[in-house]
Every structure is written in C-alpha cells, then in structure tokens.
C-alpha cells in the first residue's frame, strides 16, 4: 500500500494541494506532525546558498485522515552512517550534519570525506565499521555493482549489522539487485529500506529530494525525520523492488525527454532558428519542464556542468529497459534514447552532465555530412 508525505517549506501552500483523482490511493499528508520536532532538534538549514524562507509546517490530509506514523524524538536513530560521498551523497550527508545529526562517513576515495569531517563528521575506514558503529546506515553508490560490493562484500556493511540496526540504500539500482542486498542485510537481523531519490545535485543541496522507498515499514518510520531533512517528500511503495522500479520508470522518461529536447535544439539551429528562443517558447507552453529551462541555456552554449553524470543516466536507461523486458513491455522510445547515450559514452562523455547527450547528435550529424 503506497503512502506519500510531502514537506512544505514555504508559506505558499497553494502549490501543494493534492487532488484525490491524482493522488496515491492511500495516505497523503503534508509535513506531518513531526515537523516541529525536527525544527526543535535540528537547527541547521539546508546547505543551499539560496536564502531560505521561513518554514511553515502545515499538517493537512488531502483525502485521508490517517497520517503516516512519525517516530518519536526518543526513537530517532542517534548515530547515522553514510557510505558513498559522491555528487549526491556529499550534500545529503552535509544536510544531516548541519541539522545536528551525529554522522559517520566512508567513501572509497577517502579525500571526498574530508569536507564533511571538517564539518564534524566522524570517519571509519570501511562500510563494516560504519555499520557497526551506527544505528542506521545510508548508502549512495554509483550503481548495482558498487551497491552490492559495499553492502555485502568483504568489509561490507552487512558484516557490521545486527538486530536493532537499519540499512537504507539510496543508490539507483534494479529490483533484482535491491532484493539481493535486502536478503543479505536481513540475514543479519537488521532492517532494510530501499530509498532511491528523484532530484539531482541542487535538490540534494536544498534538502528537496523525493524519496521512493520500499521495504521494512518500521525502518521507514524510524528514518522518516531524516528523509525529511534531506528531501521534500517521501513515498512508501511497499515491497522491496517497487522503489527501484519507480525510480527507473521516472529516469527512463527523463532520459527520453532529454534526448528529444536535444534533437529539438539541434534541429532548430539547423533550420536557422535561435535555440535560445526555442528554450523560451517551450518554457511558456504545456511541455514546460524545469529540466529544459535549467539545462537548455547551457546546452546551447555546449557546456555541461555535471549534476547527473551521463554514465548514470545511461545505466538507468539500461536498467529500465531490463525492467520492461522482464514484463515484455515495448519501450521503443527509451530504447532509441539509450542508443544515443551509448554513443555519447563512446565519445568520452561519461562524467559530463547527461545533457551532454546532445553532443552525440552533433557527432552523428557531422559524420553523416562527411
Ligand atoms: N547525480 C544525480 O543527479 C542523481 C540523482 C538521483 C539519483 N542518483 C543516483 O545516486 C547514485 C549516486 O549518484 P552520484 O551522482 O552521487 O554519483 P557519483 O558522484 O558518481 O558517486 C558515486 C559514488 O559511488 C562510489 N563508488 C563507485 N564505484 C564504487 C565501488 N566499486 N566501490 C565503492 N564505492 C564506489 C563513488 O566512490 P568514489 O568517490 O571513490 O568514486 C562515489 O561515492 C547513483 O546510483 C545515481 O544513479 C544520482
């Protein structure tokens, strides 16, 4: 049974009205009754450089009076582990630290932990040691292989877990991988939650991520206040695999949208239009999307500051195609988009932002002209 909780940071509550016809068919509550408790306990604002508006926590049930259970302050996990300090893990951990949480970090490349250590984080030299010293451990790894390695490998987190602890995997992986990790974690007696996120570097900095969780409901309830520090909303989707599937469907759509947008920008320029005007036109119409407005201008300039690495977008398309294959669902648009990202990867654009996929079209056009 799916549950959604939405945090409202701002006075403008009109933007978060949920209509019963579009909402998830169970409980939906905005910034449920634990918000005041978080603000009392956790003083720091998100790390965004943007000025934050005063917070107003509104408790409102859109179509159900049953709000998600919040964990009492006494039950909040006091020692939090964080594994994987990359583009996403770093700001997420930073927001927990700045909110007053006791955070212990580990990353394969240790130097990436240093800024967090200078903010007050503790450091342990293996996932096992982090998990052993913490109540709840979050992991934000590159993909299936690293998520399995860090959770279940030698010196992996599972070795440090035991009953009473929890493991929350935020990495974007496929359902099969998530279930494998869950099996290893649960064998230790600990609880497991998959919690991939929708949102990128900036939402991570701003504490505006969307968590797509599934797995042990008691752990979901325990970590809810922590998810609310790092995110603006959280969905509980039931069995392990559902969070992974939801995330892959979202990123399948996103990858296809970006590929299509890239084609439009290139085509507009080729027929003598100003692609900047195309970005403006799109921003005013029904296909307007923050992604187009944010990334369009830099794509026109052929610059791709990395928020979501292209290699991860291609990984997500690959995994989404596998998901579709598993249920014999045709996904021709996503399949075509995936090919474009593969071309971009072959041109060395792995670590550029995924909007650099437009370069693959330029290469194609150049080679077809020669
Ligand atoms: N960036 C986004 O916009 C975004 C948005 C939503 C979801 N996600 C997902 O979130 C996850 C992290 O993304 P990100 O953007 O933060 O990626 P990233 O910057 O590339 O970070 C990847 C992390 O995984 C670690 N890692 C990679 N291979 C490893 C291995 N074999 N063993 C141990 N650690 C390993 C890296 O360690 P090193 O530092 O040592 O390389 C790093 O900490 C991915 O699953 C991604 O799909 C990303």
Q: Cβ(92) to ligand 1 under 6 A?
A: no
Q: Cβ(108) to ligand 1 under 6 A?
A: yes
User: Largest Cα–Cα distance of the chain, in whole Å?
Assistant: 69
Does residue 143 or residue 56 have the better pLDDT?
Answer: 143
Distance CA 321, CA 330 (A): 9
pLDDT tens per residue across span 78-132? 899 999 999 999 999 999 999 999 999 999 999 999 999 999 999 999 999 999 9
pLDDT average, residue stretch 192-201: 98
Dist. CA 139 → ligand 1 center (Å)? 9
Nearest ligand 1 atom to the CA of 173 is 45
Residue of 81, 82, 83, 88 to test ligand 1 pocket, by largest number of atoms within 8 Å of CB: 88
Distance CA 113, CA 122 (A): 9
Contact between 317 and 341 (Cβ < 8 Å): yes
User: Which of 124, 165, 232, 247 is an active site residue?
Assistant: 247
pLDDT at 260 over 90: yes
Residue 3: pLDDT band by 50, 70, 90 thresholds? confident
What is the per-residue pLDDT for 263?
Answer: 98
Distance CA 262, CA 295 (A): 10
Ligand 1, atom 22, residue with closest C-alpha: 142
Residue 19: pLDDT band by 50, 70, 90 thresholds? very low
DSSP category for residue 159:
G
Nearest ligand 1 atom to the CA of 351 is 20
What is the per-residue pLDDT for 1?
Answer: 59
Dist. CA 264 → ligand 1 center (Å)? 30
Distance CA 132, CA 270 (A): 58
Q: Cβ(195) to ligand 1 under 6 A?
A: no
Q: Cβ(140) to ligand 1 under 6 A?
A: yes
Q: What is the average pLDDT value for the chain, to the nearest integer?
A: 84
Q: Which residues, in sequence order, are CB contacts of 114 under 8 Å at separation 6+? A: none
The pTM of the full predicted model, rounded to 2 decimals, is: 0.85
Does residue 55 or residue 331 have the better pLDDT?
Answer: 331
Query: Which residues belong to CATH 1.10.1040.10 in the chain?
Result: 245-369
Dist. CA 89 → ligand 1 center (Å)? 8
CATH architecture of 3-240: 3-Layer(aba) Sandwich (3.40)
Q: Cβ(107) to ligand 1 under 6 A?
A: yes
Least confident of 4-8, 29-33, 163-167, 273-277: 29-33
pLDDT at 242 over 50: yes
Nearest ligand 1 atom to the CA of 143 is 45
Options 3.90.550.10, 1.10.1040.10, 2.60.40.1180, 3.40.50.300; CATH for 245-369 is 1.10.1040.10
3-state secondary structure of 16: helix
Query: Which residues belong to CATH 3.40.50.720 in the chain?
Result: 3-240
Distance CA 165, CA 57 (A): 30
Q: Which residue has the tokens 């390695």?
A: 149
pLDDT average, residue stretch 206-228: 98
pLDDT at 294 over 80: yes
pLDDT average, residue stretch 321-347: 98
Pinpoint the alpha helices (H) of the chain: 35-41, 89-98, 114-118, 127-133, 144-152, 175-187, 201-206, 217-230, 242-270, 275-284, 290-300, 310-326, 332-346, 358-369
pLDDT at 332 over 70: yes
165 is an active site residue = no
Q: Which residue has the tokens 């342990």?
A: 124
The token pair that represents 169 in the structure block: 């995997």
Phi, psi of 353 (to 5 degrees): -60, 155
Q: Which residue has the tokens 């509104």?
A: 58
């Amino acid at each position: 049974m799916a549950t959604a909780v939405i945090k409202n940071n701002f006075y403008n509550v009109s933007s978060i009205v949920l209509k019963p016809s579009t909402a998830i068919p169970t409980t939906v509550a905005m910034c449920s009754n634990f918000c005041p408790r978080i603000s009392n306990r956790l003083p720091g604002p998100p790390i965004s450089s943007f000025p934050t508006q005063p917070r107003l926590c509104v408790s409102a049930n859109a179509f159900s009076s049953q709000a998600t259970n919040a964990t009492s302050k006494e039950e909040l996990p006091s020692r939090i582990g964080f594994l994987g300090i990359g583009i996403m893990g770093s700001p997420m951990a930073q927001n927990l630290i700045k909110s007053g949480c006791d955070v212990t970090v580990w990353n394969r490349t240790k130097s990436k932990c240093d800024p967090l250590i200078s903010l007050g984080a503790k450091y342990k030299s293996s996932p096992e040691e982090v998990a052993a010293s913490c109540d709840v451990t979050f992991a934000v790894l590159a993909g299936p292989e690293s998520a399995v390695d860090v959770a279940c490998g030698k010196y992996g987190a599972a070795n440090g877990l035991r009953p009473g602890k929890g493991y929350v995997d935020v990495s974007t992986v496929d359902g099969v991988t998530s279930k494998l990790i869950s099996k290893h974690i649960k064998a230790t007696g600990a609880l497991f939650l998959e919690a991939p996120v929708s949102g990128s570097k900036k939402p991570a900095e701003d504490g505006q991520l969307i968590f797509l969780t599934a797995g042990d409901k008691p752990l979901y309830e325990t970590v809810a206040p922590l998810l609310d520090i790092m995110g603006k909303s959280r969905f509980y989707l039931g069995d392990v695999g559902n969070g992974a599937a939801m995330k892959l469907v979202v990123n399948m759509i996103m990858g296809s949208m970006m590929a299509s947008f890239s084609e439009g920008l290139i085509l507009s320029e080729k027929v003598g239009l100003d692609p900047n005007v195309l970005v403006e036109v799109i921003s005013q119409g029904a296909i307007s999307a923050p992604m187009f407005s944010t990334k369009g201008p830099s794509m026109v300039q052929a610059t791709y500051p990395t928020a979501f690495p292209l290699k991860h977008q291609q990984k997500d398309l690959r995994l989404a195609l596998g998901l579709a294959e598993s249920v014999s669902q045709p996904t021709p648009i996503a399949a075509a988009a995936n090919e474009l990202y593969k071309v971009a990867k072959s041109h060395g654009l792995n670590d550029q932002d995924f909007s650099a996929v437009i370069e693959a079209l330029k290469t194609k056009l150049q080679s077809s002209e020669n």
